[in-house]
Amino acid sequence: MPHVDGAGVRARACRSRAASLAALGMLGMVGLLGTFGTIGCAAAERGEEARDAAEPIRAAPNASGAAANASGVAANASGAAANASAPARDEQGRASSEGDSDVRITISAVGDCALGDLAGVAGEGSFTAELAKHADPIAYPFARVRALFAADDLTIANLEGTLTNHDGRANPVFAIRGKPEWAEMLAQGSVELVNLANNHSHDFGFVGHEDTKRALDRAKVGRFGHGVVDRREVRGVTVVNLGYLGGPQGTQARVVRDVAREAKPGTIVVVSFHWGIEGSHATAPDQQRLGRAAIDAGASLVLGHHPHVLQGIETYRDRHIVYSLGNFVFGAHSQPADMDSLVFQETFHVRDGKVHAVAERRVPVRISSSTRRNDFRPTLLEGDEAARVLDKVAKFSASIPAS
C-alpha cells in the first residue's frame, strides 16, 4: 500500500492544522477553531475580506466569452452519464419549442479541488508521484468525469490551493501547491470556472495567488471570489458567480448587497461559500443563515465547500442550498477516510425574465478510482455504492433544521 510519511498528510488540511495548534497548546478548543476554518486560515481571510471591502467588485478579465466551450473539449464525449444529463435542445442550444426567451441551462458543481501536493510531501502517494505514472498527466485527474462536464453548460469547482512555482510559503502548517501548467487540467476536464475564496488561496502569499490567477487566465478557466465576480453569457443568459469565505464578520451584508445588485431579471446568480466545520456532516446554523440570506436576496443556487465531506442539501423558496460538496480532485490528501462525493447538477429554465430551477440531479462519486487510497481521479459510482451515497446525502438533508 502506498504511503506518505507524516500524520498531517492523512488528516484533512485545516482540521489537522487546528489539531496541531491545539497540540502545541496554542489553543484549547479545536471545535471552536473548526467553525469556518482555523486561526491561521482566518488571518488570511481577514486580509482578503478587508481587501474585498475596500475594492469595488470587478469583473475578471476572462469573465465574458463562450463559457461552455472555454475548455475546448468537444461536447461529443461518450458516456451514458453525460448523455443522461444533457437537456433536449436544438442546434442553438435553446429549448426547441418556446422561442428565444426560453432557455434551459444545466450547471454542474463540485467541491474542493487541490491540484497539487501539500508542501513538504513528495514521493509515493503524492499527487505529483501519481501523475508521473500516467501517459497524459494533464488529462488524468478529470478523465472519468470529463464526459459528464462536457455535456453541461457550465461546471464550477472550488480550487483549494495554489498553482505557482513560488517558494515563499505563507501558510506555515499546510500549504498546497501545484504547477501553473496544471490549470490546464481544469480546462481539459471541462471545468470552466473556479472559486478562489477559500483558506488556501494565499498559501504561497500574494505572489502565489497572482501566479494562480495568471495560470487560470492562460488556461481560459474563469475565476471568482475575493472580490472578483464572474459574469458570462451562457447561450444568451447572463450567469453570475460570486464567492465568499463564510466566517468573517460582515459577510452576510456583502452577500446581500452583491446578490441584490446582480440579480436582474432573467439572470442566474450562483453564490459559493467556503464555510462550515471541517469533517462535520452537520450543517452549522451560520451556514443556513448565510445560505438563506443569499436566496432571499435573489440567488438562484447556493454552493458550499470546506468541510471536506458531504453535507445535506436544502430546498428553500424553490432554490437549492448545497451545504457541502465534499472533496473532488484532492491532491493534498492521499488517504482520506471518507472518499464520498457528489456532482450536483441544476437545470434552470429561463423564460420571460424569470429563472426557474426545474431539474436537480445528484451524481454520486468516489474521489478516487481506487478504494484503497486516493489516486486523485474521481469516479462515478454505480449500483449499491451510488445508492449508499445518495442515501447518506438524503439523511444529512433530512437533519437540516426546517426553520
Q: 147 vs 176, which CB is nearer to Zn ion?
A: 176
Q: 151 vs 170, which CB is nearer to Zn ion?
A: 170
In the bound complex, what is the minimum distance in angstroms from residue 286's beta carbon to Zn ion?
A: 15
User: Which cell numbers hold the place of 343?
Assistant: 456532482
Rg (CA), the chain: 19
In the bound complex, what is the minimum distance in angstroms from residue 198's beta carbon to Zn ion?
A: 5
Neighbours of 349 (CB within 10 A): 17
Residue 163 near residue 178 (C-beta atoms within 8 A): yes
Please state the three-class secondary structure of 53-71 as a single string.
HHCCCEECCCCCCCHHHCC
Residue 333 near residue 319 (C-beta atoms within 8 A): no
Q: Does 324 bind Zn ion (CB under 5 A)?
A: no
User: Which cell numbers hold the place of 62?
Assistant: 476572462
Place of cell 454520486: 364
- Sign of the alpha-carbon torsion through 91, 94, 97, 101: negative
DSSP 249: T
Cα–Cα distance measured from residue 201 to residue 207, given in angstroms and rounded to the nearest whole number: 11
Q: Which of 62, 199, 212, 347 binds Zn ion (CB under 5 A)?
A: 199
Q: What is the DSSP pairing of strand 268-274 with strand 58-59?
A: unpaired
Place of cell 478510482: 369
Angle at 345 between CA 191 and CA 309, to 5 degrees: 80
Stretch that binds Zn ion, among 51-59, 190-198, 234-242, 361-369 (CB under 5 A): 190-198
In the bound complex, what is the minimum distance in angstroms from residue 118's beta carbon to Zn ion?
A: 13
In the bound complex, what is the minimum distance in angstroms from residue 197's beta carbon to Zn ion?
A: 10
Place of cell 510559503: 169
Q: 209 vs 231, which CB is nearer to Zn ion?
A: 209
Residue 363, class by beta-carbon neighbours within 10 Å (0-12 exposed, 13-18 middle, 19+ buried)?
buried
User: Which cell numbers hold the place of 101?
Assistant: 426567451
Cα–Cα distance measured from residue 327 to residue 237, given in angstroms and rounded to the nearest whole number: 29
In the bound complex, what is the minimum distance in angstroms from residue 199's beta carbon to Zn ion?
A: 5
Q: 244 vs 348, which CB is nearer to Zn ion?
A: 244
Q: 40 vs 378, which CB is nearer to Zn ion?
A: 40
Q: 16 vs 199, which CB is nearer to Zn ion?
A: 199
In the bound complex, what is the minimum distance in angstroms from residue 376's beta carbon to Zn ion?
A: 17
Stretch that binds Zn ion, among 113-121, 132-140, 192-200, 254-262 (CB under 5 A): 192-200
Cα–Cα distance measured from residue 242 to residue 250, given in angstroms and rounded to the nearest whole number: 15
In the bound complex, what is the minimum distance in angstroms from residue 17's beta carbon to Zn ion?
A: 10
Total residues in contact with Zn ion, by rule CB under 5 A? 3
In the bound complex, what is the minimum distance in angstroms from residue 287's beta carbon to Zn ion?
A: 14
Instruction: Give me the DSSP letters along 144-207.
Output: TTHHHHHTSSEEEEEE-SEE--------SS--EEE-GGGHHHHHHTT--EEE--STTTTTTHHH
Residues 102-161 that bind Zn ion (CB under 5 A): none
The pair phi, psi for residue 34, each rounded to 5°, is -60, -30
Q: 306 vs 320, which CB is nearer to Zn ion?
A: 306
In the bound complex, what is the minimum distance in angstroms from residue 203's beta carbon to Zn ion?
A: 11
Stretch that binds Zn ion, among 64-72, 135-143, 198-206, 296-304 (CB under 5 A): 198-206
In the bound complex, what is the minimum distance in angstroms from residue 14's beta carbon to Zn ion?
A: 5
Instruction: Give me the DSSP letters along 344-371.
Output: EEEEEEEETTEEEEEEEEEEEEESSS-S
Residues 250-309 that bind Zn ion (CB under 5 A): 306
Stretch that binds Zn ion, among 113-121, 128-136, 191-199, 247-255 (CB under 5 A): 191-199
In the bound complex, what is the minimum distance in angstroms from residue 393's beta carbon to Zn ion?
A: 20
Residue nearest to Zn ion (CB): 306
List residues binding Zn ion (CB under 5 A).
Answer: 198-199, 306
